[in-house]
């Protein structure tokens, strides 16, 4: 009987399921002021590609996604301090950021663009038309350096915390343009017909949106990466893109699922 009992214990121990990678609730850093990506309206209802993607990812990895507001300037610190477990917030993968956090992705690619007032849209057809103008950017974004280095003309920049602040300054005539990822600007244009995104003003490095994780999260990164491959390949990516950004051409925004970055 004693030997039998030991064998039973051994069998039970050997068949025990591995501990899940993610807790039942995962705190996901998201923006709440970026229409088309993560936007909370006055009634408290949230919509957007990143918001929907986070919920899909939670279903796939068996966790409930709990949104936590983050800004472009504090995404790294929120991950480092454990205030969020993931960041899904139009978070561009860069070498500098990789020193502080891990990334899975990319799940979206694009470039920089600008947004102007609709009434002025005929004045801004190419980058040279921005010479001497004032441009609003968000602090901590990749746009800060690229407007200065890659736009090709001299402008005055104004730095704020959110895209919503930039949009307000633009509509009030306090800046001439707003610059960030063109995909983000298209989302704002969908919400506000008083602003316009010139389609031919595109510049800067390729923006590659990834999911941010705390440094040293290789196993979790690999699990998320595998789901991103599925997300892009099975049609879900396209469905969410056309739902949240219906007027934006798909173009080259969808990454090749076979060419995602390795988790290191």
Quick: pLDDT tens for 93-111.
999 999 999 999 999 999 9
Residue 17: pLDDT band (50, 70, 90) is low
Asked if the bond preceding 124 is cis, omega within 30° of 0, the reply is no
Contact 26, 54 (CB under 8 A): no
Q: What is the CATH number of domain 111-205?
A: 3.40.190.10
What pLDDT is attached to residue 141?
Answer: 87
CA distance 207 to 110: 5
CATH for 21-110+207-259 is 3.40.190.10
Asked if pLDDT for residue 12 goes beyond 90, the answer is no
In the DSSP assignment, the letter for residue 134 is: E
pLDDT of residue 15: 53
Looking at the DSSP assignment, which residues form a beta bridge with residue 26? Answer: 65
- Per-domain residue ranges for the chain? 21-110+207-259, 111-205
In total, the chain counts a number of residues equal to: 264
3-class DSSP string for 181-230: EHHHHHHHHHHCCCEECCCCCCEEEEEEEEEEEECCCHHHHHHHHHHHHH
- The number of beta carbons lying within 10 Å of the beta carbon of residue 242 is 12
Residue 18: its pLDDT value, please?
A: 73
Name the phi and psi angles at 255, rounded to 5.
Answer: -70, 160
Asked if domains 21-110+207-259 and 111-205 share a fold, the reply is yes
d(CA 185, CA 189): 6
- Per-residue pLDDT, 95: 95
> pLDDT per residue over 63-91, tens digit each?
999 999 999 999 999 999 999 999 999 99
Q: Band of the pLDDT at 144, cuts 50, 70, 90?
A: confident
- How much is the average pLDDT of 177-197? 94
pLDDT of residue 4 exceeding 60, the answer is no
Confidence of residue 177 (pLDDT cuts 50, 70, 90): very high
């Amino acid at each position: 009987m004693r030997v039998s009992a030991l064998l039973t214990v051994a069998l039970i121990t050997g068949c025990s399921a591995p501990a899940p990678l993610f807790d039942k609730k995962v705190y996901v850093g998201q923006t709440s002021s970026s229409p088309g990506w993560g936007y909370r309206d006055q009634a408290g209802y949230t919509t957007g590609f990143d918001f929907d993607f986070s919920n899909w990812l939670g279903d796939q990895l068996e966790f409930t996604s709990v949104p936590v507001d983050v800004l472009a300037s504090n995404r790294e610190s929120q991950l480092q301090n454990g205030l969020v477990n993931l960041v899904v917030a139009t978070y561009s993968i860069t070498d500098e950021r990789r020193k502080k956090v891990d990334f899975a992705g990319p799940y979206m690619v694009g470039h920089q663009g600008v947004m102007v007032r609709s009434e002025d849209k005929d004045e801004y057809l190419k980058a040279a038309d921005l010479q001497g103008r004032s441009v609003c950017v968000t602090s901590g974004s990749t746009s800060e350096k690229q407007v200065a280095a890659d736009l090709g003309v001299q402008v005055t920049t104004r730095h704020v915390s959110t895209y919503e602040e930039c949009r307000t300054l633009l509509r009030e005539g306090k800046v001439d343009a707003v610059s960030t990822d063109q995909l983000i600007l298209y989302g704002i244009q969908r919400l506000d017909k008083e602003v316009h995104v010139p389609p031919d003003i595109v510049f800067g490095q390729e923006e590659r949106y990834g999911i941010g994780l705390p440094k040293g999260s290789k196993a979790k990164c690999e699990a998320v990466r595998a789901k991103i491959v599925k997300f892009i390949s099975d049609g879900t990516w396209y469905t969410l893109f056309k739902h949240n950004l219906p007027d934006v051409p798909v173009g080259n925004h969808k990454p090749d699922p076979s060419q995602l970055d390795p988790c290191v």
